[in-house]
A = this chain, B = another copy of it.
Amino acid sequence: MNDFKTTLEERKAKSTLQVLFKVARLLNAQAIERSNQEQRWGQKLRPSHMAIFPHLSLKGSRITSLAEEMQISKQAVAQLVEDLEQLKIVRRVPDPTDGRAKLVQFTKSGRTGMLRGLDLLTTMEQELADIVGVRRMADLRTTLSRILEHVAPQHEKRFLKK
C-alpha cells in the first residue's frame, strides 16, 4: 500500500543503534532528574557540570589539566568550576607546588554528593537488572565495554602525545 513507508519503518525498527541512542538519552535524562530531585544543590546541576566529575581527582585537579582531558578551553572549565564553587561542591585552593596554579578539589559535601550520585547510578542499574535479569546486565556491560574499546581505543592517548 505504501512501500516507502513500510521500508523505512521496518528499517528504523531494526536499528539497534537507534535503540541504543534512545535508551541512553532517556536514562541519562532520568538520572539527571532523579539526582536533582533527591539532592539539594538547588536543581542547578546541568549536564555540562556532570561532565567534569569523572575528571576530578580527589587530590585536586588543575584547570589546565581538566581542560586538556575534556578537550575544551581552560576558560570553559573555569566557568563550570565557578558554578560548582558557588554550589559548594568544589573549592579552589592554591597549588603549593606552583604559585600560578590552583587546585580544584571537592568540598566535603561535594564529595558525599558525588558518592550519592554514583549510588544513584548503581540503584538505577539494579532496577534495570530487576527487569532484564542480572545475567543480561552483565552481558550488556561486557558487550558495551568491547564496543567502547573498539570505538575509543584512545586510553590516555592525549597524554602520550605532545
Give the B-binding residues of A (Cβ under 8 A). Answer: 2, 4-5, 7-8, 11-12, 14-28, 30-31, 54, 57-59, 111, 114-115, 118, 121-122, 124-125, 128, 131-132, 136-137, 139-148, 150-152
Contacts and interface: CB of A to CB of B under 8 A. Distances in A.
A124 to B, nearest CB: 6
Copies in the complex: 2
A146 B131 contact: yes
26 contacts: A5-B57, A5-B59, A8-B58, A11-B118, A12-B54, A12-B118, A15-B118, A15-B121, A15-B125, A16-B140, A17-B125, A18-B54, A21-B24, A21-B27, A22-B148, A22-B152, A23-B24, A26-B148, A26-B152, A27-B151, A131-B150, A132-B143, A132-B146, A136-B142, A136-B146, A137-B143
